[in-house]
Amino acid sequence: MRLLPLKLLVLLVLVSGCAERGSLGLLDNSLALSAALPSATRHQIFVATSRERKAEGLDYNGDRATNLSYARFTMSVPPVHATGEIEWPSGKTSDPAKHFVVAAANDLGDAARMRSTINDKIRGLPRNNHEAVVFIHGYNTNFAEGLYRFTQMVHDFEFPGVPIHYSWPSAGSAGAYIYDRDSTAIARDGLEQFLTELAKTDVERIVVIGHSMGGFLTVEALRQMAIKGNPQFRSKLQAVVLMSPDIDLDVFRAQVGRMQPLPDPFVIFASKQDKALRLSARLTGKKERLGSAIRPEEFKKLGVTLINVSDFKGGDSLKHMTAATSPTVISILRSASQTFRSKILLGDQSADFAESWRTNEAALTPERQ
What are the tens digits of pLDDT across the range 61-112? Answer: 999 999 999 999 999 999 999 999 999 987 666 788 888 988 889 999 999 9
What is the enclosing helix (H) or strand (E) of 339?
helix 327-345
What's the pLDDT at 313? 84
Residue that wins the pLDDT comparison between 98 and 156: 156
- Compute, in degrees rounded to 10, the torsion defined by CA atoms 355, 356, 358, 364: 160
What's the pLDDT at 165? 98
Q: Is residue 182 predicted with pLDDT exceeding 50? A: yes
What is the enclosing helix (H) or strand (E) of 205?
strand 205-211
Sign of the alpha-carbon torsion through 238, 243, 248, 249 = positive
Highest mean pLDDT among 94-98, 115-119, 309-313, 358-362: 115-119
Q: Is residue 215 predicted with pLDDT exceeding 90? A: yes
What's the pLDDT at 96? 85
What's the pLDDT at 9? 45
CA 324 to the chain's CA centroid: 9
Share of the chain above pLDDT 70, in %: 88
Q: Is residue 228 predicted with pLDDT exceeding 90? A: yes
What's the pLDDT at 365? 57
pTM over 0.85: yes
What's the pLDDT at 1? 37
What's the pLDDT at 25? 65
What's the pLDDT at 137? 98
HSE-CB at 20 with a 13 A cutoff on CA atoms is 13
Long-range contacts of 247-254 (CB under 8 A, 24+ apart): 247/215, 247/216, 247/219, 247/289, 247/290, 247/291, 248/284, 248/286, 248/289, 248/290, 249/286, 249/288, 249/289, 249/290, 249/293, 251/216, 252/219, 252/290, 253/302
Sign of the alpha-carbon torsion through 136, 141, 147, 148 = negative
| pLDDT tens digits for range 242-280 | 999 999 999 999 999 999 999 999 999 999 999 989 888
Q: What is the largest CA-CA distance in the chain?
A: 60
What's the pLDDT at 12? 46
Alpha carbons 223 and 195: distance in angstroms, whole number: 13
Q: How many CB atoms sit inside 10 A of residue 288's CB? A: 20
What's the pLDDT at 21? 60
Alpha carbons 237 and 231: distance in angstroms, whole number: 10
Q: How many CB atoms sit inside 10 A of residue 190's CB? A: 25
What's the pLDDT at 280? 82
Give me the mean pLDDT over the 153-167 stretch. Answer: 97
76, 96 Cβ separation under 8 angstroms: yes
Sign of the alpha-carbon torsion through 56, 47, 221, 355 = negative
7, 282 Cβ separation under 8 angstroms: yes
Give me the mean pLDDT over the 108-123 stretch. Answer: 97
Q: Is residue 54 predicted with pLDDT exceeding 80? A: yes
Give me the mean pLDDT over the 327-350 stretch. Answer: 91
The model's confidence at residue 28, banded by pLDDT at 50, 70 and 90, is: low
With H, G, I as helix, E, B as strand and everything else as coil, classify residue 257. Answer: helix
Alpha carbons 298 and 302: distance in angstroms, whole number: 7
What's the pLDDT at 74? 92
Helix axes 353-364, 327-345, angle to 10 degrees: 130
Alpha carbons 336 and 101: distance in angstroms, whole number: 29
With H, G, I as helix, E, B as strand and everything else as coil, classify residue 58. Answer: coil
Q: In 3D, which of 79, 90, 4 has the Cα closest to residue 42?
A: 79
Give me the mean pLDDT over the 130-151 stretch. Answer: 96
Please give the single-letter amino acid code of residue 14.
L
The model's confidence at residue 122, banded by pLDDT at 50, 70 and 90, is: very high
**How confident is the prediction for the chain on average, in pLDDT?**
88
* Overall fold of domain 4-364: Rossmann fold (3.40.50)
